[in-house]
Structure 1
């Protein structure tokens, strides 16, 4: 069987140069200093190791004047007060910030820095978050960082911007990043995009990579001209399983892997290959810079510069149940968190054990107050187990079943299933109702949000309604001897359409004016090809999620199977 590719790359076919390691990077920057007084700004995404940049890059340039931009910002207590409404007192949820980075700098300090720069006669280097705000740079270097790496640094003791919170709960650090820090950085990055002279990849400590701004922009433009995959990452969970270890060749000594993110541009990265240098950039950069080409004008006009479809894996093989949960209704997520759409989703069962099940919807004729009281009792008293069988339906699950989960539906994946989760992107807004009495991997109780949850549980999503509307709502679209197309969902209240294709020979598909997200759900490998020769053939393997930019219009998929009698399975998702 062809192996799941853990390191998918986009090979950039035209570039001027790429540099790895600080000595080569410094040498290249020096070549671009063409006048005695030159201002270099190294703008850092929050989370970048600025001490590393100072020691290895700034000091190596030997500037006449060196300014650390972070020192000109307000201190952490002032910033925290300024964004208090966004951070809230909750451990997980905040409210989206609409502020800009410049609002967090002291005007007096900026003025003094400007005077110092004006008086300098030689090389001036400004570095850190906000460096580009201090002065107009002759050379602008953007030091970028992936979201997943930000989160890993939080867990390892890294701090948020301007605060000393090494020992703070990583969930709270992540909340501050998600609702505030990443938002202000992304807004500035978008504004700087056409001005960037060099892009600096800082994801691996002490192993930087650099490309020119023109080559960076060209690399992104090439990505929307072809199929591509995001860089996957995998994470353990209290309910995590063992299936992905074998199927995706992961660390066999790890306790478990519960999560796999390989189709979430908000979280994942892109690998851009420039000769012998591989550069990692946040996939969100592509969404922000080429929304019409990637998403399609219709989807872009509806969602803005947001990628609305998410694919990820949940592995509970030899593990435990997911948490019992519900996602917020649209008006609730808008009112409480500043999001304009919610997390409708579905569970596509990629694999299942004999006892596999999915919890979905509530039992007929239950009372919400009774359910909430039992949820609270279970949360407060460790000896009390929530009687899930009294309130929640449990349906058997088998391979290739599809369970639809519009917001407001109580749900939970059971043990011994592998779920391909197909959903809308606001992934962070999950209200856990009951977590089977477990402690998180960090030793802390897992966050439960019964008060939020009770406002969003729809009692009409009950047993018979769920059976009739949410389980295997599969409709035949077309069928011949070599290809069968089925509509598998999602529910009419959800904006994502999913089509399942069984094929033995080449088929042609259309993007239908939307970005397409696909996964190879059965079979060894397939070849994705252009109908007009506009992109090179692209090979995908079992379990891999891949993207087809909307602008490609049409594309072909051909099975690469050893046995010609075997049908290949593909699931395709797009915005209706």
Structure 2
């Protein structure tokens, strides 16, 4: 493992990385918080039935208590307790999806209706219909009760918040597993609950009367109308926008993001920043004087064609295919030595439709930074497997450099990592990871003998890894195919464009633009994801005035929906007269690539 002394780029002196990018919802829409929200719901319902359908991991008990306080004469009914299947039956239904593995399961195709007793739902509807008092139904699946509510509320929850709750001791839905390993709880969420919940939520997004931000204390939760949410989502696909990033520590985490992104200096480290993972990140929508945190997946589910483009939607469906995130090892440690599965393996083993191809773009690097990539030509597969098994058993250390190539890593280098390639980012690197979206399928082969932040050994998946390694990706192949293959594309006054990757086996195309003046772009019918990798500040503009100018800062990732079409990026504010660079990723729609 290398050592390094972190050198923060000059751009960091501006400290202008926006950790809470907010998007204004056009029009005049009402918004409330706390007791005022329930006053608005009550007025809309006019004494009729209120249904609050909550995303799994919402605090249904607290939700019921808030409803009861606001409407003391109403009967508050926990639909989960009244009509959901018993936990043992649900566990039996999910057995095949959950598997015995600590991390990996099988993608669920269940629908929420399967987790409920239909006769109990009908009985509940009859009970509510015949009641002489007002009823409030709460819980994940409350809208399954076969009746027409007078007010339908979606209590939405971001996955980042769900994971925080898992770590704090919350359990999965209808499962008494609060003290279980957080990785196992995440597995049940990722492979089952969130898949089912998003199928169910798609219809609610179209017809909810109100949307409640359930990420914080429910007593003060902000809320707006369903119309305001729908208008906000409609407007988002016609302009550039950012997702709300979140940051996590890790055993190999570094110090670079603390300074550049203005994070808590008292934390030991930050390893990851998720800033463009719509399955995980949120949109912050400003409605009046309220800001609501809405899962970004809501936008993908509601407007996939306008966001992704017809061609990309036809290929992936309502799933965002590109991920940008940060891996910070500056003054940190090596990532685990790892490999990702080929498409056929991930499909047959886990039920995913495409795999985790990726790349490392170096935002910054210490003098001794390096990347582990591909196998050495003189590596003997049998010996390597034997040494890995011995290391996994705790009998010895694994000499990674004996079997895996290492390449120097410099600022603005770009390393392609198609699935099946052994790799790891070394210490002293600040990586912008540009990759396909299935982001948890990392098969660790060797983790340098470390334990996780929880004190438990980090999971090694050697059998999955050995089934995925492409042994013919040796030194010569790796150097020629994967290491910083920069191809000039075009240039003009004050700008030049380069192709920096990825590999022909990967569906993502990446272009880098260096510019001191305005440079024109076009989505050409597919979503673009960009990061400002050089320069303090730039502005994204419409040449036709189709959207308001959108300012971005160093290291910020932003999305330009397919619907936008033509757009222009130029230095702005403190960045005027300074060289800037963006990297832009999009789905490659052509069979041929530049060599």
- Give the deviation of 1:121 after TM superposition: 2.6
- Give the deviation of 1:566 after TM superposition: 2.9
Match of 1:288 among 296, 301, 310: 301
**SS of corresponding position for 1:333:** helix
Contact map agreement 1:2 1:542 (CA 8 A) in 2: no
1:202-213 to 2 correspondence within 5 Å? 202-206=214-218, 207-213=220-226
- Give the deviation of 1:365 after TM superposition: 4.2
TM-score w.r.t. length of structure 2: 0.94
Give, in whole Å, the separation in 1 of the partners of 2:397 and 2:87. 42
1:48 aligns with 2:51: no
1:449 aligns with 2:461: yes
Residue of structure 1 equivalent to 2:7: none
Match of 1:76 among 83, 87, 110: 87
Please list every run of at least 4 consecutive aligned residues from structure 1 whose deviation after the TM superposition is greater than 4 angstroms.
561-565
- When the two chains are superposed, the root-mean-square deviation of aligned CA atoms in Å is 1.2
The Cα offsets for residues 99-152 of structure 1, whole Å up to 9 and x where unpaired, read as 100111123422331231232133111101110011322211000000000000
Residue of structure 1 equivalent to 2:310: 297
Residue of structure 2 equivalent to 1:566: 578
Residue of structure 2 equivalent to 1:107: 118
1:259 aligns with 2:272: yes
Residue of structure 1 equivalent to 2:412: 400
Contact map agreement 2:364 2:411 (CA 8 A) in 1: yes
Residue of structure 1 equivalent to 2:562: 550
1:466 aligns with 2:461: no
Residue of structure 2 equivalent to 1:13: 26
**SS of corresponding position for 2:453:** coil
1:238-277 to 2 correspondence within 5 Å? 238-277=251-290
Contact map agreement 1:475 1:488 (CA 8 A) in 2: yes
Contact map agreement 2:335 2:424 (CA 8 A) in 1: yes
Give, in whole Å, the separation in 2 of the partners of 1:179 and 1:149. 17
Contact map agreement 1:18 1:211 (CA 8 A) in 2: yes
- Give the deviation of 1:28 after TM superposition: 0.9
1:532 aligns with 2:552: no
Q: 1:115 to 1:480 in 2, by over 3 A?
A: closer
Contact map agreement 1:63 1:124 (CA 8 A) in 2: no
Q: 1:523 to 1:563 in 2, by over 3 A?
A: closer
| Gaps in structure 2 of 5+ consecutive residues | 1-13, 589-595
The Cα offsets for residues 287-312 of structure 1, whole Å up to 9 and x where unpaired, read as 11101111001000100000000000
Give, in whole Å, the separation in 2 of the partners of 1:561 and 1:192. 42
Number of residue pairs matched by the alignment: 572
**SS of corresponding position for 2:278:** coil
Match of 1:219 among 218, 232, 257: 232
Give, in whole Å, the separation in 1 of the partners of 2:186 and 2:168. 12
1:336 aligns with 2:349: yes
TM-score w.r.t. length of structure 1: 0.97
**SS of corresponding position for 2:468:** coil
Q: Which moved more, 1:148-157 or 1:70-79?
A: 70-79
The Cα offsets for residues 196-242 of structure 1, whole Å up to 9 and x where unpaired, read as 00001010123311111111100111111111000000000000000
Q: Which moved more, 1:147-156 or 1:555-564?
A: 555-564
Give, in whole Å, the separation in 1 of the partners of 2:557 and 2:377. 37
1:177-216 to 2 correspondence within 5 Å? 177-206=189-218, 207-216=220-229
**SS of corresponding position for 1:32:** helix
Residue of structure 2 equivalent to 1:516: 528
Give, in whole Å, the separation in 2 of the partners of 1:93 and 1:209. 35
Give, in whole Å, the separation in 2 of the partners of 1:121 and 1:562. 65
- Give the deviation of 1:512 after TM superposition: 2.0
- Give the deviation of 1:80 after TM superposition: 1.0
Residue of structure 1 equivalent to 2:3: none
1:19-58 to 2 correspondence within 5 Å? 19-21=32-34, 23-34=35-46, 36=47, 38-58=48-68
Residue of structure 2 equivalent to 1:3: 16
Give, in whole Å, the separation in 2 of the partners of 1:349 and 1:65. 57
- Give the deviation of 1:563 after TM superposition: 6.9
Give, in whole Å, the separation in 1 of the partners of 2:125 and 2:406. 65
Give, in whole Å, the separation in 1 of the partners of 2:18 and 2:578. 22
- Give the deviation of 1:487 after TM superposition: 0.3
Give, in whole Å, the separation in 2 of the partners of 1:425 and 1:447. 21
**SS of corresponding position for 1:455:** helix
- Give the deviation of 1:60 after TM superposition: 2.0
Give, in whole Å, the separation in 2 of the partners of 1:107 and 1:13. 41
Residue of structure 1 equivalent to 2:5: none
- Give the deviation of 1:565 after TM superposition: 5.0
**SS of corresponding position for 1:228:** coil
